[in-house]
Structure 1
Amino acid sequence: MTILKTFRGAKAALSHPFPKEIILPRTLYGFVFRASGWHQLATAILSIVLFTAGTIPLEVQRRIVNAATENGSYRTIALLVLIYVLLALTEGAVKLVLNIYSSWIGEAAVRWLRLQVFEASRASVTGDSMMTSEGVQLSIILAEAEPVGGFVGTSISEPLLQIGILTAVCGYLVYLQPLITIIVITIFLPQSGFVPIMQAAINRRVGKRIGIMRNVSEDIVQMGHAIDTDGHQASRIGDVFRINMSIYKIKFTMNFMMNLMTQMGYAGIFALGGYFVVTGKTEIGTVVAFVSGLSKINDPWGDLVNWYRDLRVTQVKYGLIYNSAQVGTVSAGELPGPSPCLETRS
């Protein structure tokens, strides 16, 4: 098979000057800082700038609507619109830089992790360490390294950005109208309960799926080609299909419940906000700000939930890689110095 030959050829030809003993940290975040180091501080700073720039437009929107409905001067409206456009450009530019930078960090970590497996395999050939099956190594290099290394790029910046947006927007909404804010906060409280439970169910299935696919890879390597003489491979592929479908059912049910609660939040804002406008207790611009604010909250909340999903799944995947390291695919131990893959950009 072409992939298998390439894998074996790459192991034989590897000549990078890595140390003979390849060390993996015990925890996922140990790996994150081992593979990226001070780059996480830079992404954290960009995240702070981004959520600050993303919150200010809510107040600008409110003032534009109030100026238009309260017979304000068009010059004032035009100035506010110009400020809004400048803020949008700033937010977009910072987000562009952050996305590219985070992607580079993630890809560099993927490259580093793959090279570690290659080097560990090369060392095992020369007798420096024990090597587990080629099927496990093949699975790590072709499939498992990508999500684990890719998570490194967003491991710090993503939760910091989304939590920052949630905190800033909720604080602003409390300042505008505390009673309506209670409705907004209420719709997210139940989600903090059912999301971790449903995600734990997904994690168990992901771990089982990875184990099955490793068995598939091991059999292919042992046979030298993809042939199923005893029907075990077909059974495993069927198991993977059933596991994936159960993951989809849980995932999309979770999304349905989250979206339903968000729509209930909009209904509550329109009902209570409309009552306050009719009774003169608030202005129309405040209701508009709450509608925009809920969108500003819903999007980062969804992104934060997705990040949490990735975190839990990646912890499972990294744990499997680390366990493989314990039996010889790579060596496990304490954190060494900075990762060579992030010392200079390539």
Structure 2
Amino acid sequence: MTLSPYNLPTTLFRYIWAVSWQHQIALVGLTVIAFLLEIVPLELQRRVVNNLVKERPFHIVIALCAAYAGAVFVQGATKLGLNVYRGWVGENATRDLRRHVIGYSKLARAAAFGADVQGIGAAMIVAEVEPIGGFVGGSLSEPLLQAGVLASVLAYIVHLDRWMAMAALGLFLPQLIFVPVMQGAINRRANARVWLLRQLGISTVESGSAVGQEGSADAKRIDRVLHLNMGIFKLKFSMNFFMNFCSHLQVVAALLIGGWMVHTDQLEVGGVVAFISAVGRLNDPWGDLVNYFRDLSLTQVKFGLIADRINESLATPGVRNVEDRGVVA
């Protein structure tokens, strides 16, 4: 099996399309099925509660509970298949990138490049290739799934009661302000961290890097990575705190407004229960979407660095001559 690299696409999504376009189409199909199934358990839950309150024959409740269990099983099995398929697609992309990096490292060494080549190659293999491959598996299906779940649940909430829906959406809007701001700050720190780790990889391979001026520079880089990581932790967990707080305020609004409407016979109890359950399901897909765009920004930076390094090396005359002689095989 050859390990000789070829030019990589210049952008992340061109690479994703090149290595997995057939599988991405199949993943999108599974994703649509998964998010369309999201509201079925909510509606069955509402009907179970309403039938209990109205004291209807219990065999109806048994049938609805059986349908609920079946719907949850089908939904869970669909997501299981989707996640396993994603993992397989991502691992194949990781394998492809590793072959590129190893081939690049061998060609560069044979062409008598400096120690920085080995350091960058090691950093790419250890810290950069794995998350890129993992991102490839869910690059299209993940945002589609989470956006589909959000849209489905929001539509169901509006269907239950527009006033409770307006209150919940009003409490959801602040997240559209503070989340992008905080996420942008996280992305900037994550990108700086990638660059610093590459510099550490280079200096680790170079002889004598543990002493003198270079050793002092490495110590500063390590400290800087620590400060960047702590900044990322503080921003990420603060953002999670505010998102969870807004989610609980939505539940409070549903209890207040829904409780009043039940009290005045404008809404059934099952509607309030289903609404609270639906509001609880908004937080996870929204959080997953936030994480996706954070990963997208970081992965684009990592892939761009890898593609630029490999493509520039392959364009170097010395490397091309080594490859023509068949040094790497």
- Paired-residue identity, %: 39
The structure in which a higher percent of residues are helix is: 2
Matched, 1:49 2:23: no
1:212-223 alignment, distance < 5 Å: 212-223=196-207
Q: For 1:64 and 1:293, how far apart are their aligned partners in 2? A: 15
Residue 128 of structure 1: how far off its partner (Å): 12
Tell me the residue number matched to 1:268.
253
Matched, 1:208 2:192: yes
Q: 1:167 aligns with which of 144, 151, 170?
A: 151
Superposed CA offset, 1:114-140 (max 9, x none): 111112233345559999621111101
Residue 153 of structure 1: how far off its partner (Å): 0.6
Tell me the residue number matched to 2:137.
153
Q: 1:37 aligns with which of 10, 21, 29?
A: 21
Letter in 1 for 2:229: N
Residue 189 of structure 1: how far off its partner (Å): 1.8
The answer to whether the 8 Å contact 1:23/1:331 transfers is no
Q: For 1:289 and 1:51, how far apart are their aligned partners in 2? A: 17
Matched, 1:282 2:267: yes
Superposed CA offset, 1:129-160 (max 9, x none): 99962111110111111111110011111111
| Segment of structure 1 superposing worse, 143-152 or 31-40 | 31-40
1:97-176 alignment, distance < 5 Å: 97-125=81-109, 133-176=117-160
1:253-332 alignment, distance < 5 Å: 253-328=238-313
What is the DSSP-based 3-state SS (H/G/I as helix, E as strand, rest coil) of the residue aligned with 1:266?
helix
The answer to whether the 8 Å contact 1:109/1:149 transfers is yes
Matched, 1:194 2:178: yes
Change (3 A) 1:21 1:108: closer
Matched, 1:227 2:227: no
Letter in 2 for 1:244: N
Residue 228 of structure 1: how far off its partner (Å): 4.1
Letter in 1 for 2:197: M
Q: For 1:147 and 1:86, how far apart are their aligned partners in 2? A: 35
| Segment of structure 1 superposing worse, 143-152 or 207-216 | 207-216
Letter in 2 for 1:50: A
The answer to whether the 8 Å contact 1:102/1:154 transfers is yes
Matched, 1:78 2:78: no
Superposed CA offset, 1:59-84 (max 9, x none): 10000000000111101000000000
Superposed CA offset, 1:158-206 (max 9, x none): 1111111111111122112111111222222221222222112111111
Tell me the residue number matched to 2:320.
none
* TM-score when normalising by structure 1: 0.85
| Segment of structure 1 superposing worse, 45-54 or 114-123 | 114-123
Query: Where in structure 1 are there 5+ consecutive unaligned residues?
Result: 1-15, 333-346
Q: For 1:237 and 1:100, how far apart are their aligned partners in 2? A: 36
In the alignment of these two chains, the number of paired residues is 314
Q: For 1:138 and 1:227, how far apart are their aligned partners in 2? A: 18
Tell me the residue number matched to 1:63.
47
Q: For 2:122 and 2:315, how far apart are their aligned partners in 1? A: 17
The answer to whether the 8 Å contact 1:43/1:98 transfers is yes
Q: For 1:47 and 1:128, how far apart are their aligned partners in 2? A: 48
Q: For 2:234 and 2:307, how far apart are their aligned partners in 1? A: 29
Letter in 2 for 1:242: H
Moved over 4 A (4+): 125-132
Q: For 2:115 and 2:207, how far apart are their aligned partners in 1? A: 19
Q: For 1:112 and 1:256, how far apart are their aligned partners in 2? A: 38
Query: Where in structure 2 are there 5+ consecutive unaligned residues?
Result: 317-329
The answer to whether the 8 Å contact 1:121/1:131 transfers is no
What is the DSSP-based 3-state SS (H/G/I as helix, E as strand, rest coil) of the residue aligned with 2:237?
helix
| Segment of structure 1 superposing worse, 92-101 or 318-327 | 318-327
